[in-house]
Structure 1
Amino acid sequence: MVADKSPKAGVQSVERTFELLEIIASVGGSAALGVLAEHSDLPLPTIHRLLRTLSAMGYVRQLPNKHYALGPKLIRLGESAARLIGSWSQQHLRELVERTGESANMAVMDSDMAVYVAQVPSPHSMRMFTEVGRRVHLHSTGVGKALLMQLPNDAISALVSRTGLPAATENTLTTPDALLRDIDLSRGRGYAVDEGEQEIGVRCFAVPVPDAPTLTAISISGPAARVTLKSATKVAPLLKRIAREVASEFDEHAAG
């Protein structure tokens, strides 16, 4: 028998293993067996066998309530992947800084938070600065809102019910209705805005990176006196173009 060498050919057990991990991640980081069976259409004996293997390797752990959660070994893999994503994006973020004069950032969704994986700072002495690896709430940041733009509203509501809407400043959106209205507006215009919601006096424009393997967003941010609302007419198209170029980087590295 000739082996199937088409791009769709794969090892079924590996595909099923990653399917379970992705399901656990998509439902908030932990799931009961029934949820895994419902979402995967796999028989329970198969799920048990795969989870036992993942648990023994540290990629899954069983909680006291018998739910299965993502394990600590995935942290190391995620950090390594985030560093690679950040390195691929540097040239594109540098172009954003050169064209706008403001700090450029990239973030990915990690559980119910956004984590910064790359930044190129503005050359100005007064600038926005954040540490790579910093985790921030989704509802109060430009990159966070750009990540939320890629989720259906029911998933946003479920996320908010888990995390709440803590206020970072007096401008932070602190009700689910206000956040959903803002996200709907962001989808309509194609970019998100942080109006001093994370830090007073700072404005941020952010867009999703389309078709990235994990939810990803890029942004520029700086003092509101320089990053004016009027500047969105030039900044937003630039961000969208750079986001498409970043997406092409993902495709090239995946093909390689």
Structure 2
Amino acid sequence: MPTSSASASTPDAAVKSPGGGVQSLERAFDLLERMADAGGEVGLSELSASSGLPLPTIHRLMRTLVACGYVRQQPNRRYALGPRLIRLGESASRLLGTWARPHLARLVEETGETANMALLDGDEVVYVAQVPSKHSMRMFTEVGRRVLPHSTGVGKALLAGARPDDVRALLARTGMPAATDRTITTPDAFLRALEEVRHQGYAVDDNEQEIGVRCLAVPVPESPTAAAVSISGPAGRVTEAATASIVPVLQEVALALAAELKSTGTAGI
């Protein structure tokens, strides 16, 4: 006797989610994000436990992602993010940088300092956009540069909302080498610094990545990927007194960028 159940009569690819999208696509992207959160490699049982989906469903979705090159199966039968994601990520990062530049230009105009946007890519911070200050001063921040999170203001801003156990795990993987004698080099001290970021609403790199350079950073709220904006300048200009006037501008720019990213993501849908 025919059944009226959509799951029994409709191909999985055509089942609609409550939000009106295609359920299998939503599930596939959710699995990719869970893999990224787990460090890029997981087993099916781990994905089933974290997602609540049955193993046969996960196996079917992963088999499709493997066939498309977005996931690869390791010799140990665990699954890892695949190389085709790299091209997508690089293109998305460039586009994100394009959207960010007008907002960074506002930061430079209002603060006089170099403005940056950075993302958390795996265990590293990568700078994806920059508008330089009119003052001539070369600093470590440049587009494409990768640094470890513990020694930068943007790193602190990006990790401030993370669980302490996840932060400790990241630091265990990367280590905490000292870039200067001001760099935080212990997990406990770094977690205390993150607590301060949450309390005051912004992060500070006070000569911790480069002597003579001070940076202020804030996260971009509700960004589709963890993002932060910052200004960098000589410690003699980015003083405690200047911080009071710079931070509100940073926060306004982060909110404006977040609103643009949200509207861009839904435009035309």
Task: Tell me the TM-score normalised to structure 2 length.
Answer: 0.90
User: Could you tell me whether the CA contact under 8 Å between 2:40 and 2:81 is conserved in 1?
Assistant: yes
Q: CA–CA distance in 2 between the matches of 1:64 and 1:8?
A: 37
SS of aligned partner of 1:243: helix
| Alignment-mate amino acid for residue 13 of structure 1 | S
What is the alpha-carbon root mean square deviation over aligned residues?
A: 1.9
Q: For residue 235 of structure 1, what is the aligned residue in structure 2? A: 246
Contact kept? 2:16, 2:22, Cα under 8 Å: no
Question: 1:5 deviation in Å?
Answer: 9.2
1:132 counterpart residue number: 143
Output aligned runs, 1:88-237, within 5 Å: 88-128=99-139, 130-237=141-248
Deviation at 1:65, TM superposition (A): 3.0
Please name the residue that 2:77 is paired with: 66
Letter in 2 for 1:161: A
User: What is the match of residue 8 of structure 2?
Assistant: none
Distance 2:169 2:192 in 1: 16
Whether the 8 Å contact between 2:17 and 2:23 is mirrored in structure 1 is no
Classify 1:207/1:174 alpha carbon distance in 2 versus 1 (closer, same or farther; 3 Å).
same
Contact 1:103–1:127 at 8 Å: present in 2 too?
no
Q: Residues 143 and 207 of structure 1 are in contact (CA less than 8 Å); yes or no, is this contact kept in structure 2?
A: yes
Instruction: Indicate whether 1:54 and 2:60 are aligned.
Output: no
Percentage identity across paired residues of the two chains? 61
Cα distance, 1:127 vs structure 2: 4.3
Q: How many residue pairs align between the two structures?
A: 255
SS of structure 2 residue aligned to 1:74:
helix
Q: What is the DSSP-based 3-state SS (H/G/I as helix, E as strand, rest coil) of the residue aligned with 1:99?
A: helix
SS in 2 for 1:139: helix
Task: Look up the match of 1:82.
Answer: 93
Amino acid in structure 1 at the alignment position of 2:173: R
Q: Tell me the distance in 2 between the aligned counterparts of 1:57 and 1:79.
A: 18
- Structure 2: gaps spanning 5 or more residues: 5-13
Q: TM-score, normalised by structure 1?
A: 0.94
Match of 2:9 in 1: none
**Local SS of the residue matching 1:166:** coil
Q: Which runs of 4+ in 1 moved over 4 A?
A: 3-7
Preserved CA contact (<8 Å) 2:160 2:197: yes
SS in 1 for 2:151: coil
Corresponding residue of 1:16: 27
Gaps of 5+ in 1: none
Superposed CA offset, 1:215-256 (max 9, x none): 110000011111112211011111001110011111220121
8 A Cα contact 1:121 1:129, kept in partner = no
> Could you say what secondary structure the match of 1:244 adopts?
helix
Q: Does the C-alpha gap of structure 1 residues 157 and 5 become closer, same or farther in structure 2, counting only changes over 3 Å? A: closer
Q: Which deviates further from its counterpart, 8-17 or 161-170?
A: 161-170
Shift of 1:66: 2.6
SS at match of 1:204: strand
Contact 2:15 2:23 in 1 (8 A): no
Q: Are 1:36 and 2:24 an aligned pair? A: no
Three-state SS of the structure 2 residue aligned to 1:174 is coil
